[in-house]
Amino acid sequence: MAEFTMELSDEQKQVRDWIHGFAADVIRPAAAEWDEREETPWPVIQEAAKVGIYSLDFYAQQFFDPTGLGIPMAMEELFWGDAGIALSIVGTGLAAIGVLANGTEEQIGTWIPQMYGTPDDVKVAAFCSSEPDAGSDVGAMRTRAVYDEAKDEWVLNGTKTWATNGGIANVHIVVAVVDPGLGTKGHASFIVPPNTPGLSQGQKFKKHGIRASHTAEVVLEDVRVPGSCLLGGKDKLDERLARAREKAKAGGGERVKNAAMATFEASRPAVGAMAVGTARAAYEVALDYARTRTQFGRPIIDNQGVAFQLADMRTQIDAARLLVWRASWMAVAGKPFTSAEGSMSKLFASEVAKKVTAQAVQILGGNGFTREYPVERMHRDAAIYTIFEGTSEIQRLVIARTLSGMPIR
């Protein structure tokens, strides 16, 4: 019988400790400053590039970890440091996943290195899917891509919103409608190379949390990209669209994954790991505070009302991590998410992060409500996990549809 273990290997532990050290020594000391500035922390990203954390090689090594735990382990430690700065470091990864999930080998080899740049010339990338009227409802997407056969170019027009690194990215990955009659099955993803005319940054958002991460609109006005920038290639797209049209004529209901959903499905356990990292950070601050803060002549952890909260916080964090690890292992092992395990991991971990950070603020009392202690920032940051890459409501919808086989609305 094959041995079952949940123990990390020595190599995995070394990588975990290395990332944790970077988070403790570089990210955390800078967290409050960049949260206040609400700017991309380029010096921290460059430092991450110099040590090898912000690089294609690093993410490839973690992505191809045969246990599936490389990426969630890395995400948890970075976001333990600070969610806003960590998202600036890993935000490029969503665009890279978009290329990995949908692109050809040539596209992967050509464009992903350009997303990261070099330690001396750091670049970032952006994945652009959401729109002002199409967030959770991807079927309402309006950005259009029209093929100019004479020039073998695609012409993109529309506005994207909530794009991490939008407008400041070297490479943008844009999801657009190529056949409006097919709904979400008529979507495709496109690479927009650096300095392409017609692409500009719209509104930059001032946010409640993750302030060190750049979030903005991306405006596309007659943006022309070569035919080679269609992820997966035109032959593959034509075949997929033809199958969808035949099914539509026959009244069939074949479920065809669109480009955006394929990207999100691959990234949801990683988002769960980010939430675990933030929750763990807040829990550790609250635990240390409860041990040292005295009221009525004794540490406040000596009171059941505080101690039981901490016990629940730790239990929920560990449970969330296990769901993330299960989904990550299933993904790398090629196990289908028959019960929407990826969405389960993201849903539970994100809800835990909101709850645990709120409890941490409560345990610190008035101090927790000030910016003198980091739990205030962690609580603001945690709010994003139940919103981006599929709200908690959408995760529940995905899980319910998967379990029931019904088109629940």
Q: Which residues are catalytic?
A: 389
Instruction: Read off the tokens for 35.
Output: 């949260």
Angle, in degrees to the nearest 10, between helices 70-81 and 304-332: 140
> What's at 242, amino acid-wise?
A
